[in-house]
């Protein structure tokens, strides 16, 4: 069977304690079908929030030419936060060498890559220490064009560029923002620098397969065409009608809804691959920000196999029964054969001789899942044939699809984030942005209540 026909396999163990699995799945078939129908209808109508559905089929004009331009620099800095940074880190971590920046230019095949996301002067200063501003391309990504943390970093990098003698940022800056409004759009028009629009129907956390994520990935040599093909293939597979028990997206959505109702309001995302560690961070934003509304939502908890078997498994197995576990395991990976012990004191390790380290990691995943099932903890097991650009693109679309269907099935809007917006308004006010004075006063008043009865050392 071709890998393209077998992109994901999802199984479950102890999936619905006290209930028949088929019975529970069938009981939710109605609301899940409603969710998928709403998704397809919104995508057909190009409604706000649904634009990610067709991103794989419509790469913007000039994308590949701009990638080649970026590859001519010594360094590329992605300036963004949230959906304008997590996806970039996720792709880089999944598909590039773990120590990419430490390789020689010939070994890398592309520029060094940095992400300036948090508004932390230590992180930004560290990047400035590592780059030659004049030989660096800056991708500044913000759909609104006014995100405070992103703009703060942008101003610092612009200042560094000017301080290095560059009179115009036109040759170093690439803007990704709204096509009509916002400070970044105005900046692009004023300076004539390169720019790409973020489609108005695509939210930040769903934007990784747009220029927001594709430009930096391509600059590092990632096959972005394969990423898009993988997403397109996954879309075709998921939109084909099939029995609910044979549809991995529906099984995961049903599991999330059922276990939330049963009091398991945490979803533990546990990949058995260092390359997928950052995928957990990307998923966490997607899941939490899309579904944490109206009292609903399962908190994403990041765990890495096998590392977190030695830090969190005790809690997972014998702590509160409040978690749904999702294991992600590549079925094909690089392997290293372990040699025979060369010292007598290590003879007890002879059982490892000739065994593969990758095979050991696979068995660690199996063992941990089995141990959790033995304790009656619900486990989902997701397999991918191989971690490459095609299958990563498929995974991205799969989790976007599951997240959207889950929200729409529950009458939760998976594309807005009202809880985030209030924090932004407080920040704008406290930083002195005109028009947000009342928000500043309210933030100070509410914060003072925290210190009303405080203790100190």
**Which residue has 């932390």 as its token pair?**
120
**Rounded-to-integer distance, Cα 75 and Cα 292, Å:** 37
**The pair of three-digit structure tokens given for residue 206, joined into one six-digit string:** 């769903």
310 included as an active-site residue:
yes
Catalytically annotated residue among 4, 302, 355, 424: 424
Give the gyration radius of the chain's Cα atoms: 24
**Rounded-to-integer distance, Cα 292 and Cα 297, Å:** 4
Do residues 329 and 381 make contact, with C-beta atoms less than 8 angstroms apart? yes
| Four-CA torsion 59, 62, 68, 71, nearest 10 degrees | -80
Catalytically annotated residue among 167, 240, 310, 344: 310
Do residues 77 and 140 make contact, with C-beta atoms less than 8 angstroms apart? no
Among 148, 149, 147, 142, residue whose Cα is nearest residue 120: 149
DSSP code of 295? T
Q: What angle do CA 372, 303, 221 make, to 5 degrees?
A: 130
289 included as an active-site residue:
yes
Give every strand in the sheet of 194-197, ordered side by side.
112-116, 75-79, 136-141, 173-177, 194-197
Angstrom CA distances, 202 to 177, 205, 253, 361, stand at 11, 8, 22, 37
**Rounded-to-integer distance, Cα 146 and Cα 169, Å:** 19
Among 235, 191, 196, 226, residue whose Cα is nearest residue 212: 196
The distance between the two most distant Cα atoms of the chain, rounded to a whole number of Å, is 74
Catalytically annotated residue among 289, 383, 391, 400: 289
**The pair of three-digit structure tokens given for residue 176, joined into one six-digit string:** 């990704």
Cis peptide before 294 (omega within 30 of 0): no
Phi, psi of 97 (to 5 degrees): -55, 135
Q: How big is the chain, counted in residues?
A: 457
Catalytically active residues, by annotation: 289, 310, 424
């Amino acid at each position: 069977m071709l890998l393209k026909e077998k992109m994901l396999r999802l199984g479950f163990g102890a999936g619905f304690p006290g209930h028949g699995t088929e019975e529970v799945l069938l009981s939710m078939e109605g609301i899940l079908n409603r969710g998928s129908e709403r998704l397809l209808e919104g995508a057909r109508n190009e409604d706000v929030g649904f634009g990610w559905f067709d991103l794989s089929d419509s790469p913007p004009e000039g994308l590949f030419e701009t990638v080649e331009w970026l590859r001519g620099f010594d360094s590329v800095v992605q300036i963004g936060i949230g959906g304008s940074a997590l996806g970039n880190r996720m792709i880089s971590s999944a598909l590039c060498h773990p120590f990419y920046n430490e390789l020689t230019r010939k070994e890398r095949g592309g520029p060094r890559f940095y992400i300036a996301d948090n508004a932390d002067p230590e992180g930004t200063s560290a990047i400035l220490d590592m780059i030659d501003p004049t030989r660096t391309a800056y991708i500044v990504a913000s759909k609104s064009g006014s995100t405070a943390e992103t703009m703060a970093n942008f101003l610092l990098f612009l200042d560094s560029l000017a301080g290095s003698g560059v009179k115009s940022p036109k040759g170093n800056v690439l803007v990704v923002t709204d096509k009509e409004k916002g400070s970044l759009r105005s900046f692009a028009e004023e300076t004539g620098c390169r720019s790409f629009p973020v489609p108005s129907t695509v939210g930040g956390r769903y934007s990784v397969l747009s220029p927001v994520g594709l430009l930096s990935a391509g600059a590092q040599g990632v096959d972005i065409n394969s990423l898009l093909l993988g997403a397109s293939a996954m879309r075709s597979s998921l939109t084909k009608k099939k029995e609910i028990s044979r549809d991995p997206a529906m099984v995961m959505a049903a599991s999330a809804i059922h276990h939330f109702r049963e009091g398991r309001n945490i979803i533990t995302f546990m990949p058995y691959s260092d390359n997928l560690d950052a995928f957990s961070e990307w998923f966490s934003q997607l899941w939490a920000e899309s579904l944490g509304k109206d009292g609903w939502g399962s908190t994403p908890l990041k765990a890495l196999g096998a590392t977190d078997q030695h830090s969190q498994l005790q809690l997972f197995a014998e702590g509160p029964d409040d978690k749904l576990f999702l294991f992600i395991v590549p079925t094909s990976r690089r392997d290293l054969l372990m040699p025979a012990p060369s010292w007598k004191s290590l003879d007890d390790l002879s059982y490892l001789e000739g065994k593969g380290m990758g095979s050991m990691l696979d068995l660690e995943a199996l063992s941990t899942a089995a141990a959790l099932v033995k304790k009656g903890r619900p486990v989902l097991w997701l397999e991918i044939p191989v971690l490459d650009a095609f299958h990563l693109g498929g995974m991205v679309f799969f989790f976007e699809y599951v997240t959207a269907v889950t929200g729409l099935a529950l009458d939760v809007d998976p594309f807005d984030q009202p809880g985030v917006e209030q924090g932004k308004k407080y920040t704008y006010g406290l930083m002195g942005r005109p028009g947000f004075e009342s928000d500043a006063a309210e933030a100070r008043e509410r914060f003072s209540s925290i210190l009303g009865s405080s203790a100190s050392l």
